[in-house]
Amino acid sequence: MLHDIMPGTEEELMRKMTSGYIGFDPTADSLHVGHLTQIMTLIHFQRAGHKPYALVGGATGMVGDPSGKSAERNLLSEDTLNHNVSCLEEQLKKFLDFDCGANSAEMVNNFDWFKNFSFLDFIRDVGKHITVNYMMAKDSVRKRLEGETGMSFTEFSYQLVQGYDFYYLWKEKNCQVQMGGSDQWGNIVTGTELIRRKGSGSAFGITTQLIKKADGTKFGKTESGAVWLNPTRTSPYKFYQFWLNASDDDAKSWIRIFTLKTREELEALELEHNAAPHLRTLQKALAKDITIRTHSAEALETALKTSDFLFGNGSLEFLSGLDHDAVMDVFDGIPKFSISREELMAGINATDLLAEKASVFPSKGEARKMIQGGGVSINKEKITDAAKLFNSDDLISSNYLVVQKGKKNYFLLIVK
């Protein structure tokens, strides 16, 4: 996981219990899988006996994306930010221990120390220590200040603010280490420099590798967007499928990063996987571990039953225990049709149901032909009689009919 580490950091960590932090932007009411690398860093940090701080940028979140280029970091109101911060704290409690004594995790919000910090006070107390000449020495900043890509004053100030976060936590919380992705190295160095110049102290930094997929595409993104940790944004089933669909190369890397399995467990899983790759042993172990950690064992069970139902021989029974939103998650991306409850109560034959009341087939003739050929199932039962009547007694949970055309083409009929 490690990418870079400042000299002296390892010695500091071996010497005593040390406090360290990672920052998270509260730009949404949920974290996503892209944040999991840093969450796992904090988990390892705490498991090693150190004290983790999760910094949420309530103040910097109000600025949004200082470059104006990111649609994901728009300007947010204070109420929205407060809501997002509380949601992130609840999520992080699933991963970190906030009640374990001296090295309990803590959540801090930089809005708390910036809300009464005037612009002039900031420039006087902070800006004079981190000069333009120093920032120019940072190559990425130099290029932008020289006009190669353009850098606004807001962006420049934003980097100073991030450096001040580290200084504040060092001074007020005895926080000695800042951690983050390798793209945060410059901000971490700015913080340690501010601690040295303004506080006459020393601090340390650790960065992790930026996770990429083996095919070069961005980790954590799917065709439908980000994979969220909040089950109302990304269902546990979709979350499970994201990890299950990892390539073999990605699974071998990700299971080391996103689980806490021992070296012996990992090597045994690899041997088992290599003996029969089609069984996807690594992917299943990875998906199981991270789904339970993020959601729950019950959520994993629902995800497995959903997978078995859609791709195996699972029964319809588990659908009866799901509410409407959960059923919609199961059939996300699957064609859905509404049919009249009154008409169904009177009885509708299979041909009319599938070609007239719902457009599963373009014509009654095609529906009849495929039914007679044994290629149609309703509620997991093969239909062989095109004249078979369906009524409200056939509904699942009093609301649904599940149609299969062939083995993999599903349709959901919703009665209203």
Catalytic residue among 18, 29, 32, 273: 32
Catalytic residue among 18, 35, 238, 305: 35
Is 190 designated active site? no
Query: 26: burial class by Cβ within 10 Å (0-12, 13-18, 19+)?
Result: buried
Catalytic residue among 9, 37, 159, 162: 162
Catalytic residue among 131, 222, 232, 372: 222
Q: Are 19 and 176 in contact (CB under 8 A)?
A: yes
Is 35 designated active site? yes
Q: Are 233 and 30 in contact (CB under 8 A)?
A: yes
Is 162 designated active site? yes
Is 73 designated active site? yes
Residue reference for tokens 């280029």? 69
Catalytic residue among 9, 18, 25, 27: 27
Catalytic residue among 4, 121, 125, 183: 183
From the DSSP assignment, how many helices (H) and strands (E) are in the chain?
Answer: 19, 15
Catalytic residue among 221, 233, 284, 357: 221
Catalytic residue among 15, 16, 69, 407: 69
Is 50 designated active site? no
Question: Which SS3 state, helix, strand or coil, does residue 272 take?
Answer: helix
Q: How many CA atoms lie within 13 A of 232 on its CB side?
A: 5
- The single-letter code of the amino acid at 91 is Q
Cβ contacts of 303 within 8 Å, gap of 6 or more: 236, 237, 239, 240, 241, 291
Is 288 designated active site? no
Is 80 designated active site? no
Catalytic residue among 218, 256, 369, 382: 218
Catalytic residue among 51, 73, 295, 368: 73
Question: Which SS3 state, helix, strand or coil, does residue 53 take?
Answer: strand
Question: Count of CB atoms within 10 A of residue 72's CB?
Answer: 11
Is 218 designated active site? yes
Kindly list the catalytic residues. Answer: 27, 32, 35, 69, 73, 162, 183, 218, 221-222
